[in-house]
A and B are shown apart, each in its own frame.
Chain A
Amino acid sequence: MASADKLINTDVPEKDVFAFHFLQSLSNLRKQNPFDTPDQKNYRVRKIKKAAYVSMARAAGGSSRLWSRALLRRADKDDNKIVRFSRRKRKVTWKISSKRRRSNQRAPVVEEAAERLRNLVPGGGGMETSKLMEETAHYIKCLSMQVKVMQCLVDGLSPK
C-alpha cells in the first residue's frame, strides 16, 4: 500500500534499526546510573520513556522528518539547552490564520480534529493540515515499530 503511493514517502527503517537505537540509549542510561536504583520509580520510568522517544526519533531519520526534529529539540530543551523554535511556529500559524480569514470554507470538522492531532504529534503546531497528516502517517509507523521493539525487549527480559 505504501509503495503504491509514491508522492507521500513514509518509509520507516527496519525494526532492527529501532532496536539498535533503543538498546544503545538504554545502555547509555546504564552508564549514567550504573547499578543505581533511584528511590522513585517514576524517575526511572520517565527516563526510559524519554529514551524510547528519542531513540525512535533518531532511528526514524533524525532531521529528515518534522516530528522527529521537534521531538529531539524538545528533548534537548529539557536538558537545559536553549532552542529557538518558537519563531518558526509563529510564522507558519500566521499563514494558517490568514487563509482562514479569506475563505471560511476550511472544513471545520477536519480542522478541529487536526487541532487535536497537532497536540499529539510532536511539532504539529507549526504544520499545515496536509503536511500534518503526512507526518502523522510516518509517526504512526514509527510508533508501532517502537512498540514492537519494546514489547520484544520486555518479553525477552522478563522472568520466565
Chain B
Amino acid sequence: MNGAIGGDLLLNCTDMSVLERQRAHLKYFNPSFDSPLAGFFADSSMINGGEMDGFLATAGLNLPMIYGETTVEVDPRMSIPLETTLGTGNFKKRKFDTVTKDCNEKKKMMNREEVTEGEEEEKSKITELNNGSPKSIKKMKIKAKKEENNCSNDSSKVTKELEKTDYIHVRARRGQATDSHSIAERVRREKISERMKFLQDLVPGCDKITGKAGMLDEIINYVQSLQRQIEFLSMKLAVVNPRPDFDMDDIFAKEVVSTPMTVVPSPEMVHSGYSHEMVNSGYSNEMVNSGYVHFNPMQQVETSSDPLSCFNNGQAPSMWDSHVQNLYGSLGV
C-alpha cells in the first residue's frame, strides 16, 4: 500500500490529497504506521526547499522559489509531528460540504489546540504541490501566516492585518479543492464571516443568535427598524407644533439634559440676538428656526397632538415604540 501510494503520488498529483488523506487516516489511528513517504513528509516539515524542489521537479511542478519562501514562515511550527495533526484535519475536511462551516470550525480548532497550527502548515505545504497557478500559491502564503498567528489568540486582529497588507500569498488547505477559484472563495467567505462578527457586536441582541442566516435576518430587521424610526420621527417633526410663547430656556434645559451636545458654531449665531446668555446658542437659533418649520395650523395639530401629548410628558425614550405605534395608528398611515 505504501508503494502504491508513493507511485501514485509521483504519477498523479491531483489524487494526492485523497491518498494523503487515506494515509493520514491510517496514521492517525496507528501512529506507528510507517510509510516510505512518512520520512519524506516529516522531512518536508523541516525543509528549506531542497528536497521538495526535487520532488516538485519530478512531479512536473515548478514551484521552488515560492516554496522556499513559505518555509521560512512556517519554520517554528514544523516540529509538530505530522501524524497527530493530519488526521484531525482530514476528518474535518471530509465532513464539509459548505466551506463556511469549515472556516469557522477551522478557526475554532486553531484556537483550541496549538497542534492544529502545525497541521495547517503541513496541509498547506502538501497541497501546494497540487497547485499550478502562481496566484493560488501566492494566496496560500497568507493562509500560512494567518494560521501561524492564530495560535496567539489574537486571531481576528492579526489575520485581518495580514489580509490587508499582503494579499498575494495564500495557501490552499489540505484536502480541499485547490482550484484558484475555490481559494478565492475561501478567502472571500472568511472576510464575510469576519464582518459578520463585527456586525454582531453592532446590532443589539445578536449575541444569542448563532448562524449566519439568523444573524443576517437580525441585521436586516434592525436596519429596517432604524429606517422606520427615522420615518416616524420625521412625521413627528412635521406635526409637532411649538407653542407661540416658545420658551427657549426651557427647550435648552431639556435639550442639554437629554443630550450632552457640544457647541457648534453656526452662521446664524452671529446674526441673532439670542447669543448672549445661551451656552448653546447655535442650537437655540436653529431650534427656533426649526420650530417655525414645523408650524401647523391649529386644526391639524389638534387631531394629532393628543397621542403626541402623552408621549411628550417626559416619558423615557424606551417607551417610544409603543407610543409610536399609537401615533402610527392615529395618523392612519
A residues neighboring B (CB under 8 Å):
1-2, 4-8, 10, 14-17, 19-20, 23-24, 26-27, 29-30, 33-35, 37, 41, 44-45, 48-49, 52-53, 99, 102-103, 105-107, 109-110, 113-114, 116-117, 120-121, 128-130, 133-134, 136-137, 139-141, 143-144, 146-160
Contacts and interface: CB of A to CB of B under 8 A. Distances in A.
Contacts of B203: 140
A148 B294 CA distance: 19
B235 to A, nearest CB: 5
Interface in B205-228: 212-213, 216-217, 219-220, 222-224, 226-227
Contacts of B287: 23, 153, 156-157
A140 B226 contact: yes
A99 B185 CA distance: 9
A148 to B, nearest CB: 7
Interface of B: 98-100, 156-157, 160-161, 163-164, 179, 181-182, 185, 188-189, 191-192, 194-196, 198-199, 201-203, 212-213, 216-217, 219-220, 222-224, 226-227, 229-231, 233-243, 250-251, 254-255, 258-259, 261-262, 264, 266, 268, 282-283, 286-287, 289-297, 300, 305, 308-309, 311-314, 317, 320
5 contacts: A5-B157, A27-B293, A44-B238, A49-B234, A158-B312
A19 B286 CA distance: 10
Contacts, number: 216
Contacts of A33: 293
A44 B293 CA distance: 9
A121 B259 contact: no
B195 A137 contact: yes
> Which 3 residue pairs are nearest across A and B when measured between Cβ atoms?
A113-B216, A23-B286, A133-B195
Given A6-B161, A143-B223, 4 more contacts: A7-B163, A120-B220, A137-B198, A151-B233
B202 A137 contact: yes
Nearest to B189: A107
Nearest to B260: A15
A52 B320 CA distance: 19
Contact of A136 (B212, B213, B219, B294): B219
B266 A156 contact: no
Given A133-B196, A146-B230, A155 B254 contact: yes
A23 B285 CA distance: 10
A150 to B, nearest CB: 4
Nearest to B154: A4
B213 A30 contact: no
Contact of A7 (B160, B179, B226, B229): B160
B224 A30 contact: no
Given A37-B295, A140-B203, A158-B312, A110 B100 contact: yes
Most buried by B among A10, A35, A140, A159: A159
B179 A103 contact: yes
B220 A157 contact: no
Nearest to A158: B312
Given A23-B283, A27-B268, A146-B230, A159 B241 contact: yes
Contacts of B222: 140
Contacts of A134: 195
Contacts of B300: 41
Contact of A49 (B192, B230, B255): B230
B286 A113 contact: no
